[in-house]
Amino acid sequence: MTSGGRLTQRVALVTVGGGEIGGAICRRFAAEGAEVAIADLDPAKSEAVARAIAGGGRALALEVDVADEASAKDVVERTVARFGRLTTLVNVAANVTPDGTVENLTLEDWNDALSVNLTGAFLMCKYAVPEIRKAGGGTIINIASQLGQIGVAGRAPYTTSKAALIQFTKCLAADNAADGIRANTLSPGGVDTARILRRFDSREAANRARGPAYLLGRPGRADEIAAGALFLASDESSFMTGADLLLDGGYLAFKGTIDKPV
């Protein structure tokens, strides 16, 4: 179903397209006229989102491990084989590693975060950029985090990977601007997704506890993040590249009362 048509003629590839934030992005992009390749570690999740998009007509369900170079290359190739081109890449994949400090985190914890959150985005871009250039230009959106801009006790691997992703994206923008490829990060604040159950007993409890940390009194919703991704993917952001779009409900704007940022 095409309502606004802000992404007609676009072909988007979204990692973690089967997840809550990635799925919301895929559905919003499809509703705006894009053809969407939905790539997820779990192919059943990709297929469920593909089915929800116009019966799967303009959607392609794929399986990807973004930390694996062959897999990243494969999903780019399959997207182009199916839709004829690639104009838009959204890197959503993230590995949320255990909390800890340098003394008790393992090298594996550290590498797990960087290999997906940073190297995974690098690998996806490595194979997507030449295709986006062939298509005459397009956009890359790397999902970072508001925590990529601040120090957070016990969260070095995740927050460092997100800070590095923001820096990587600035370089990506610089390297490819002349070819009409814009690259930006989108940094959500806390979003009401199942991931929060790692830290709280229920989503309701998480929203209650986290609310005071946000000027708007609540964490965000996946559809609000998808709205930001739509802006970055469409021509409405045509003068924006190498930048970070912060959608954090005012989290970074003041010192909240919460004692464990999430």
* Catalytically active residues, by annotation: 158
- Decide whether 67 or 89 has the Cβ nearer to ligand NAD: 67
- Decide whether 70 or 178 has the Cβ nearer to ligand NAD: 70
- 31 CB contacts (<8 Å, ≥6 apart)? 1, 2, 3, 4
- Decide whether 135 or 145 has the Cβ nearer to ligand NAD: 145
> Three-state SS for 139?
strand
* Amino acid letter for position 123: L
Torsion of CA 13, 16, 22, 25, to 10 degrees: 10
Footprint of ligand NAD (CB under 6 A) = 15-16, 19-21, 41, 64-67, 92-96, 116, 120, 143, 145, 188, 190-191, 193, 195
- Decide whether 135 or 213 has the Cβ nearer to ligand NAD: 213
Query: Could you give the CA distance from residue 27 to residue 18 in angstroms, rounded to a whole number?
Result: 10
Q: Within a 10 A sphere around the Cβ of 99, how many other Cβ atoms? A: 18
Which segments within the chain are labelled E, that is strand?
11-15, 35-40, 59-63, 88-91, 138-143, 181-188, 244-247
- Decide whether 187 or 234 has the Cβ nearer to ligand NAD: 187
Query: Could you give the CA distance from residue 240 to residue 250 in angstroms, rounded to a whole number?
Result: 21
Query: Could you give the CA distance from residue 172 to residue 53 in angstroms, rounded to a whole number?
Result: 30
Q: How far is the CB of 145 from ligand NAD (least distance, A)?
A: 4
- 24 CB contacts (<8 Å, ≥6 apart)? 222, 223, 225, 226
